[in-house]
């Protein structure tokens, strides 16, 4: 502790580069040759005449797969990467390229069919959405979502005002969630999800509906989480949001990583790719 008050620092000893983008910590998420396959049961054999399902048939078929047929959808097919504390990683790619599946697997909501995922800390996939109830007020949902994230009742109460302020909902917080517009709902989910400063935060599409002011607040909040050594994954179709918020971008295509690296470079290549395929 002797050198605690030693303020003599050589400029050369300071970390190089911008602090917000430069200093990365230890690995927080390691994904190794991940495969996720959805099995859609009930697909019929080729050539079989489709029969209309009625309740009785469904009942007789329950738990069994009489046709013996199912379709496999290989949503993620061999993805490997390492994320570090302090990174915010944008995940881009066309519809159905496997972005949401990848995040759900990291969050532990889907079982890999092959490969491994290691996560240090508790991942939170803007996961409160699953527990929020449309018939209840925003106020009640803040408590439910907060508890689901592992906060205590007291902690949720302490952060209540901050969450409401962040969401920008004002008095609408006392109305049932089903009366909210898509954007209002997304803001509340984001505000609740980030209230706990999670180790690994994953945001899937939630920012798309926010207005400019909300996006700015979200960016600040994501920076804060990163500075507390968290890792943030953001899925978004808006390349501008991705560039504004991310220190790294992973481009998913048909279940594999097509490119991984600098946001400017990856988004430029993606834009070119989508333009090219649009003109074909």
Ligand X SMILES: Nc1ncnc2c1ncn2[C@@H]1O[C@H](COP(=O)(O)OP(=O)(O)OP(=O)(O)O)[C@@H](O)[C@H]1O
Pick 98 or 145: Cβ nearer ligand X:
98
Question: Under the rule (CB under 6 A), what is the footprint of ligand X?
Answer: 38, 40, 73, 75, 93, 95-101
Contact string (CB under 5 A) for Mg ion, positions 15-54, x = contact:
----------------------------------------
- Determine the Cα–Cα distance for residues 167 and 184; give it in Å rounded to an integer: 8
Pick one of Mg ion, ligand X, none as the site partner of residue 241 (Cβ within 5 to 8 A by kind). none
In the complex with Mg ion, which residue's Cβ is closer, 100 or 193?
A: 100
How far apart are alpha carbons 185 and 43 in whole angstroms?
35
Angle at CA of residue 56, ends 51 and 58, nearest 5°: 65
**Closer of 34 and 142 to ligand X (Cβ):** 34
> 99 vs 187, which CB is nearer to ligand X?
99
Of 124, 240, 137, the C-alpha closest to 188 is: 137
Residues with Cβ within 8 Å of 187's Cβ and at least 6 positions away in sequence, in order, are: 166, 167, 168, 169, 209, 210, 214
The smaller minimum CB distance to ligand X, of residues 23 and 253, is found at 253
Give the ranges where the chain is alpha helix by DSSP (H). 19-22, 55-61, 99-106, 138-148, 153-167, 182-193, 212-227, 239-245, 263-279
- The region of 95-103, 141-149, 151-159, 258-266 touching Mg ion under the rule CB under 5 A is 95-103
Closest approach of ligand X to the CB of residue 36, in Å: 8
Q: How many residues of this chain interact with Mg ion, rule: CB under 5 A?
A: 1
Query: For residues 101 and 94, what is the distance between their CA atoms, to the nearest angstrom?
Result: 13
Angle at 260 between CA 256 and CA 264, to 5 degrees: 135
Partner from Mg ion, ligand X, none contacting 98, C-beta within 5 to 8 A by type: ligand X
Least distance in angstroms from the C-beta of 4 to ligand X = 49
Select 100 or 194, whichever has its Cβ closest to ligand X: 100
Least distance from C-beta 217 to ligand X, angstroms? Answer: 24
Within 8 A by CB and 6+ apart from 32, the residues are 80, 115, 116, 117, 118
Q: How far is the CB of 1 from ligand X (least distance, A)?
A: 50
Least distance (Å) from ligand X to the CB of residue 241?
Answer: 14
Which lies closer to Mg ion via its Cβ, residue 88 or residue 100?
100
**Residue from the set 28, 88, 97, 100 that interacts with Mg ion by CB under 5 A:** 100
Cβ(89)–Cβ(249) below 8 Å: yes
Cβ at position 90, least distance to ligand X in Å: 13
Closest CA to 251 of 101, 92, 103: 92
Find the shortest distance in angstroms from Cβ 23 to Mg ion.
Answer: 31
Q: Which does 97 bind (CB under 5 to 8 A by kind): Mg ion, ligand X, none?
A: ligand X
Q: The tokens of 183 are what? A: 């954007």
Looking at the DSSP bridge assignments, the partners of residue 259 are: 251
Residues that bind Mg ion (CB under 5 A): 100
């Amino acid at each position: 502790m002797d050198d605690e008050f030693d303020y003599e620092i050589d400029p050369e000893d300071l970390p190089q580069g911008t602090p917000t983008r430069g200093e990365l910590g230890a690995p927080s998420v390691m994904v190794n040759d991940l495969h996720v396959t959805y099995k859609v049961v009930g697909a019929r054999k080729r050539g079989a005449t489709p029969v209309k399902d009625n309740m009785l048939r469904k009942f007789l078929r329950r738990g069994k797969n009489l046709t013996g047929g199912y379709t496999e959808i290989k949503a993620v097919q061999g993805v490997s990467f390492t994320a570090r504390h302090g990174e915010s990683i944008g995940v881009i790619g066309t519809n159905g390229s496997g972005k949401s599946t990848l995040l759900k697997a990291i969050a532990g909501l889907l079982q890999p069919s092959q490969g491994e995922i290691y996560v240090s800390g508790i991942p939170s996939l803007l996961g409160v959405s699953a527990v929020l109830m449309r018939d209840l007020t925003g106020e009640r949902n803040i408590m439910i979502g907060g508890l689901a994230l592992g906060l205590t009742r007291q902690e949720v109460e302490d952060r209540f005002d901050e969450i409401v302020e962040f969401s920008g909902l004002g008095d609408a917080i006392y109305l049932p969630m089903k009366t909210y517009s898509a954007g209002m709902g997304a803001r509340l989910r984001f505000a609740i999800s980030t209230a706990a400063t999670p180790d690994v935060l994953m945001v899937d599409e939630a920012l798309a509906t926010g207005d400019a002011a909300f996006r700015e607040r979200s960016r600040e909040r994501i920076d804060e989480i990163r500075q507390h050594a968290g890792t943030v994954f953001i899925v978004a179709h808006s390349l501008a949001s991705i560039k504004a918020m991310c220190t790294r971008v992973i481009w998913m295509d048909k279940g594999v990583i097509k490119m991984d690296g600098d946001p400017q470079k990856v988004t430029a290549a993606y834009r070119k790719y989508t333009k090219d395929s649009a003109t074909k």
